[in-house]
Amino acid sequence: MATLSELSREIAQVVAALAPSVVRVEARPGRPATGIIWADNLVLTADHVIEDDDAILVSGPPTTVKASVLGRDRATDLALLKTEGLRGTPAPRGRSQDVRLGQIVLALGGYVGDQQVTLGIVSGSSGEFRSWRGGQVNSLIQTSAELLPGFSGGPLVDAQGRVIGINSWNYGRGVSLAMPVETAEKVAESLRTYGRVRRAYLGVGAQPIRLSEALAGQLGQEGGLLVVTVETDGPAHKAGLLQGDTIVTVDGDPLFGRLDALFARLRGLDVDSVHKFEVVRGGELKQVAVTLGEVPGS
């Protein structure tokens, strides 16, 4: 077992190795935040810290440069900045799926020469989460690593110095929560390509209902989602979903008659992708292939 001095030395080495990838973001008067170098001239940070779109400064090794917003997403509280000439080492990334309850994590804020760090453990997962700004995500990493002022947009890292999440005060007041790195990667790529996050859209209104005993036994679930409205010329309408259909599975995955399960499933799917919706129509099971659209105004 490592001694305390060995553990202390290893933590200091992790912080030192990651320091060149962490930057300071100044985009609101008197309240700097943190970002991480995502790629050459690209910095990922928290969306809520960007108040002055036209007066953004990013400080990192070895200088301070101007930056502009390449894209921002209110729902996940992430923003991607394009800098003018900032070179640095992109932060190494891990996998939040490998995170285990009780493992040591570090939260970093600031930048080289003005950096802070806190130590904690993974204390849980938030499950589905709705932020005070109206965004909704499937899960967040909860830790005991304190988020100090200015830590929003900074990395949550594992003991190997790999980014496993993006910290933000937005996710929970008084609770340290981080967006999993896989979600951040998907959002950052969409912001880089489109300047926004494209979210999958089905175009129906539905409500939970109980299935007949025969269907419940056949499907192994007691409930389904009754389609009560179908938006004209929406993805569902074009695919042939009908008012009165009962949705029971998406790509073979049961929804158990839960609207939140349908919404969570859609959040993980891509615009223009095709998926099989199994429905009950006239007492019979049918499959409808739906090409998902994009949420209007997303």
Q: In the structure encoding, which two tokens stand for residue 247, read together? A: 């949705």
Q: Which of 140, 173, 194 delimits the end of a domain?
A: 194
Q: Which residue has the tokens 């175009």?
A: 203
For residues 184 and 38, the answer to whether their CB atoms sit within 8 Å is no
Same domain as 187, residue 135: yes
What CATH number should be reported for the domain holding residue 205? 2.30.42.10
Could you report how far apart the first and last alpha carbons of the chain are, in Å? 51
Give φ, ψ of 211 to 5 degrees: -85, 160
Which pair of structure tokens corresponds to residue 200? 């999958």
177 inside domain: yes
Which pLDDT score, from 0 to 100, does residue 157 have? 97
**Same-domain status, 246 and 156:** no
CATH number of 54's domain:
2.40.10.10
Residues 165, 148 share a domain: yes
DSSP string for residues in 195-208: SS---EE--EEEEE
Indicate the residue among 194, 227, 244 that finishes a domain.
194
Please give the pLDDT value at position 167: 96
**Does the residue 91 lie in any domain?**
no
Give residue 49's region: left, alpha or beta (phi > 0; psi -120 to 50).
alpha
Q: Is 152 a catalytic residue?
A: yes
**Does the residue 90 lie in any domain?**
no
Whether 88 maps to a domain, the answer reads no
Domain C-terminal end among 171, 194, 217: 194
Number of domains in the chain: 3
Q: Is residue 279 domain-resident?
A: yes
Is there a single domain that holds both residue 190 and residue 204?
no
Instruction: Return the pLDDT at 1.
Output: 56
Q: Check residue 101 and give its pLDDT.
A: 93
Query: 111 near 22, Cβ under 8 Å?
Result: yes
Low-confidence ranges of the chain (pLDDT < 50): 132-134
The residues pairing with 176 across neighbouring beta strands, listed in sequence order, are 143
Which residues have a Cβ under 8 Å from the Cβ of 163 and sit 6 or more positions away?
36, 91, 92, 93, 94, 155, 156, 157, 181
Predicted pLDDT at 10 = 93
Q: Is 6 contained in some domain? A: no
pTM exceeds 0.75: yes
State the sign of the Cα–Cα–Cα–Cα dihedral 176, 182, 183, 187: positive
Length of the chain: 298
Is 48 marked active-site?
A: yes
| Same domain as 65, residue 111 | no
> Which position among 47, 77, 158, 245 bears the catalytic label?
77
Which residues span the domain enclosing 218?
A: 200-294
Q: Do 221 and 268 fall within a single domain?
A: yes
Is 21 assigned a catalytic role? Answer: no
Residue 113 is predicted with a pLDDT of 66
Q: Indicate which residue of 48, 59, 96, 190 is catalytic.
A: 48
188 shares a domain with 113: yes
41: left (phi over 0), alpha (psi -120 to 50) or beta: left
Residue 117 domain-assigned? yes
Are residue 106 and residue 174 in the same domain, yes or no?
yes
Candidate list 152, 168, 176, 190, residue with the active-site label: 152
Quick one: pLDDT at residue 134?
Answer: 45
Task: Answer yes or no: is 257 within a domain.
Answer: yes
* Pair (183, 205) in one structural domain: no
**Whether 205 and 188 share a structural domain:** no
